[in-house]
Amino acid sequence: MAWFKKAKRQRPVGRERPRSQVPEGLWVKCEGCREIIYSKELLKNLRICPKCGYHFRISARERIELLLDDGRQKELFAGVQSTDPLAFKDSKPYKDRLKSYRKQAGEKSAVIVVEGEMEEIPIVLAVMVYGFMGGSMGSAVGEKITRAIEEAIHTERPLVVVSASGGARMQEGVLSLMQMAKISAALARLRDRRVPFLSVLTDPTTGGVTASFAMLGDLNIAEPGALIGFAGPRVIQQTIGENLPEGFQRSEFLLQHGFLDLVVKRTELKETLARCLRHLLKMPAKVAES
């Protein structure tokens, strides 16, 4: 399909590189093909293996850079952060965990909400931070995504949510579970107002995030090879006591079973999302640049 497309100039990936899966070394081993890749080459290629197309995880900030037009981005609700409503403690108090994740991830919570433009379409964008406690959803994530939805309703800007999450956050107990209901209720209102909602599922999207907003997009779009499911593969394996089928719970598997609209490469994600939005917004098609 890509034969008529202009070769796109790759967007540079932020100067100060946030933490992600790609280590700082010169060379990286690809998890897809086991080949050794030169890190610089990987970064230039949006962290997609140039040899096999394996999509390495990218940070939420990189994702925002990738999806939004330069300039005029405004971060929203940046101060919202989890407290410790249950005074939860396992081997370590939840309060301390929060502190260290804030430091380590350089974020206050596991989701970033921004207003900006995607191919000149004003949108509200929420991107989950997998590096913050596995992108788990507690009250802060629930609140920020709900506010993002309310902002989309209020401004009539389309909503794009990029998920990357292990599911609900255990340390906030049932309050985490309630975020699924809260967000879904807000999405019902967004639907009533006929404001488009595109859900982008990236590696990994599981548990309560999949079982709420990630599966409720007008379109559900995933990156190739992402783990997407409700129960974790290990839990399922323990339950059924046998090996899981090849490719189980990967994007292509979900596409095949009818739960995704599209599987889109990272290099084509922005233009695909924008094209979908233009259709849903009945905006005139972008004139091809010459």
Partner 1 sequence: MCALEAPFEEPIEELRRRIDELEGFPPGSGRRKELKKLRSDLEKTTKEVYGRLTRWEKTLVARHSDRPYTLEYVGCLMTDWVEIHGDRAHADDAAIVAGMATFRGRSVAVIGHQKGRGTKERIERNFGQPRPEGYRKALRVMRMAEKFGLPVLTFVDTPGAYPGVGAEERGQAEAIARNLIEMASLRVPIIVTITGEGGSGGALALGVGDRVLMLEYAIYSVISPEGCAAILWKDQQKKPEAAEAMRLTAPDLLELGVVDEIVPEPLGGAHADPNEACRAVGEALARNLEELEGKSPDELLEHRYERFRVLGAFDEKG
**Is 230 a residue that touches partner 1 (CB under 8 A)?**
yes
Binding window for partner 1 (CB under 8 A); candidates: 4-12, 116-124, 137-145, 275-283: 137-145
Q: Residue type for 263, please?
A: V
Q: Does residue 101 come out as left (phi exceeding 0), alpha (psi in the -120 to 50 range) or beta?
A: alpha
| Residue 52 interacts with which of partner 1, Zn ion, none, CB < 5 to 8 Å by class | Zn ion
**Is 262 a residue that touches partner 1 (CB under 8 A)?**
no
**Is 28 a residue that touches Zn ion (CB under 5 A)?**
no
Kindly report the number of other CB atoms within 10 A of residue 132's CB atom: 25
The C-alpha atoms of residue 107 and residue 21 are separated, in whole angstroms, by: 17
From 151, 139, 72, 85, select the one nearest 111 (Cα to Cα): 139
**Is 226 a residue that touches partner 1 (CB under 8 A)?**
no
Strand partners, 201: 163, 222
Q: Based on CB atoms, which residue is closest to Zn ion, 19 or 34? A: 34
The C-alpha atoms of residue 97 and residue 105 are separated, in whole angstroms, by: 12
The C-alpha atoms of residue 145 and residue 113 are separated, in whole angstroms, by: 8
Torsions phi, psi for 149 (to 5 deg): -65, -45
Binding window for Zn ion (CB under 5 A); candidates: 48-56, 226-234, 244-252, 264-272: 48-56
Burial 14-29 (b: 16+ CB within 10 A, else e): eeeebebbbeeeeebe
| Residue 91 interacts with which of Zn ion, partner 1, none, CB < 5 to 8 Å by class | partner 1
- Which of 116, 131, 135, 142 touches partner 1 by CB under 8 A? 142
Binding window for partner 1 (CB under 8 A); candidates: 9-17, 31-39, 114-122, 244-252: 244-252
| Residue 172 interacts with which of Zn ion, partner 1, none, CB < 5 to 8 Å by class | partner 1
Site map (CB under 5 A) of Zn ion, residues 156-175, x = contact: --------------------
| Residue 30 interacts with which of Zn ion, partner 1, none, CB < 5 to 8 Å by class | Zn ion
Kindly report the number of other CB atoms within 10 A of residue 251's CB atom: 26
**Is 25 a residue that touches partner 1 (CB under 8 A)?**
no
Helix residue spans in 193-245 (DSSP H):
207-210, 233-240
Binding residues vs partner 1 (CB under 8 A): 77-83, 85-86, 88-91, 108, 138-140, 142-143, 146, 168-182, 184-189, 191-192, 207-208, 210-216, 228-232, 235-236, 239-240, 244-245, 248-249, 253, 257-259
Query: What does the binding site for Zn ion look like in residue numbers (CB under 5 A)?
Result: 30, 32-33, 49, 51-52, 54
